[in-house]
Structure 1
Amino acid sequence: MKKPIIVLGIGELGSVFSRAFLKNNYPVYPITRQTNINELANTINPELVLICTAEDDLQNALHSTPDKWKDRITMIQNELLPRDWQTHNFIDPTVISVWFEKKKGIDPKVLISSPIYGKKAKILIDSLALINIPSHIINSEEELLFELVLKNLYILTTNIVGLVIESDANINDLRNKHSSLMSNVSNDIIAIQTKLTGKTFDKKKLEQGIIKIFESDLEHNCMGRFALTRLKRTLKLAKKFNLSVPALKKIANEHV
């Protein structure tokens, strides 16, 4: 019998992964706010521990992870970067940049194949394939960092621009009617990502990646429900690093 998988956070995405693991014959143990995680760690030796919390809850979740599980952590969050886990002494964590969305009462919608890096990647790929969600392995930390920054650029740019354009605007509207604003916001986001990672990124390659994602779902709405929270969090980071982010500040001053 396969070893169980722990899923910390059973929201919409957590439920998708749980179903995939169950289809792959892995027992699944959910962790909720009511779970005594240390007690559970004394009774279960999991194959992997999937952290499915929201971005704002990630640090608390990582901090609460028992030491005996630190060699099998997998993360899926938006706005994720290595700095988020490097202070927690995890051993070779697995990370997936999720490119499918799940809303309540609706089947998962795939945009593109989700890249995965880490020693538990094959389990995720095999499991997700059983529920028709494509994913693929990437082979280096450098590739992973690029994929995480690409995801952050997409999420933050579309959400933040979505705050100030038509409320029902979609990706097609964004690229056809607001390309200049999108470019200015993207430049600010890239500057922040560069500061957060200590790395520089090929803007043309990022642009090509964004175009591919745009083409996968032109009707996707720009402004998500966490758009304002993302803007505030991004401006806080810019202030921390004393970065000039004129497009973001203009949006905050005029429209928020």
Structure 2
Amino acid sequence: MRSPIVIIGLGQLGAVFAHGFLRTGRPVMPVTRELSIRETAVEVPRPDLALVAVGEADLEAVLSELPDAWRDRIGLLQNEMLPPDWEKHDIVEPTVIAVWFEKKRTTGITEIFPSPVAGPRANLVSEALATLGLHTRHVDDITDDLILKNLYILVANIAGLETGGTVGALWTEHNGLVSALSEEILQIQSALAARQVDVAGMIEALGDTFLADPDHGTRGRSAPARLARALAHANRLGLGVPELRRIATDHTA
């Protein structure tokens, strides 16, 4: 029998990946809140892939709990994530995907762009998603792709606290706000990743992503938490970010 795939967290995205892996003929072992990662590792000591599919807020706790035998076969898909987030847990070369599709509880899967994927098990991930009609592209260094995805999520959610509406309207009707927020968020991302960022190029790419799915809503349930995390990073890094602070003052309790 082929080695199983472990999926930690079986929310909407985790379920999509589980479906894809099952369709490739691979057994899937889900780890939910009711199951212990350590206990699962006894049953499945060397999975082909251990995909961490929990939300951003739970990522740190899960990475700190991973058994050593899994650390060379980890997969990651979270938003608001950059290489230092896994490097500090001695995860050297994970398989990472910047997900450009969405699955809501009451809808099908909406794909915006092919999702970039990097790492030693990128082919495994691409094979699974292809069974669902989803596209990927392989990259050697995924950092810029993660920064762009983070920019998309953070600008849409945080600007949406002020404007509401769709990302298409945000781009066409509130471009000044988008630019100001983008510059501040990219300051944070650049500092977190210890990497120079092409600000103009990133903002142009952001516009392309907004216009690829212009009817997508802006503000989500996670928007206040995303803003709070961005400000916590800015405070720790000593960054001014006046537009982020203004929105926090005006639109959060």
Distance (Å, rounded) in 1 between the aligned partners of 2:81 and 2:148 = 11
Corresponding pairs, count = 251
Distance (Å, rounded) in 1 between the aligned partners of 2:198 and 2:71 = 33
Distance (Å, rounded) in 1 between the aligned partners of 2:250 and 2:69 = 49
Which residue number in structure 2 is paired with residue 242 of structure 1?
A: 238
- Range that drifts further, 124-133 or 82-91: 82-91
Which residue number in structure 1 is paired with residue 15 of structure 2?
A: 15
Query: 1:26 is aligned with what amino acid?
Result: R
Which residue number in structure 2 is paired with residue 85 of structure 1?
A: 86
Q: State, as a whole percentage, how many aligned pairs show the same letter.
A: 38
- Range that drifts further, 82-91 or 10-19: 82-91
Distance (Å, rounded) in 1 between the aligned partners of 2:12 and 2:245 = 32
Contact 1:72/1:91 (8 A) holds in 2: no
Query: 1:195 is aligned with what amino acid?
Result: A
Distance (Å, rounded) in 2 between the aligned partners of 1:51 and 1:204 = 32
The partner residue of 1:164 within 162, 165, 168 is 162
Distance (Å, rounded) in 2 between the aligned partners of 1:106 and 1:213 = 20
Query: Secondary structure, in 3 states, of the residue corresponding to 1:101?
Result: strand
Write the deviation string for residues 5-53 of structure 1: whole angstroms up to 9, x where unpaired: 0000000000000000000011000001221322221221210000000
Give TM-score, length-normalised by structure 2. 0.96
Q: C-alpha displacement at 1:150, in angstroms?
A: 0.4
Give ranges in structure 2 of 5+ residues lacking alignment: none
Which residue number in structure 1 is paired with residue 68 of structure 2?
A: 67
Q: C-alpha displacement at 1:91, in angstroms?
A: 3.6
The partner residue of 2:198 within 202, 207, 214 is 202
Contact 2:179/2:203 (8 A) holds in 1: no
Contact 2:98/2:149 (8 A) holds in 1: yes
Which residue number in structure 1 is paired with residue 222 of structure 2?
A: 226
Give ranges in structure 1 of 5+ residues lacking alignment: none
Q: C-alpha displacement at 1:105, in angstroms?
A: 2.5
Which residue number in structure 2 is paired with residue 119 of structure 1?
A: 120
Query: Secondary structure, in 3 states, of the residue corresponding to 1:181?
Result: helix
Q: C-alpha displacement at 1:212, in angstroms?
A: 2.2
Which residue number in structure 1 is paired with residue 185 of structure 2?
A: 189
Q: Please give the residue correspondences for 1:128-147 in structure 2 after superposition, counting only pairs within 5 Å.
A: 128-139=129-140, 141=141, 144-147=142-145
Q: C-alpha displacement at 1:215, in angstroms?
A: 2.1
Write the deviation string for residues 97-131 of structure 1: whole angstroms up to 9, x where unpaired: 00001100211110100000000000111110010
Give TM-score, length-normalised by structure 1. 0.95
Distance (Å, rounded) in 2 between the aligned partners of 1:228 and 1:193 = 18
Contact 1:115/1:136 (8 A) holds in 2: yes
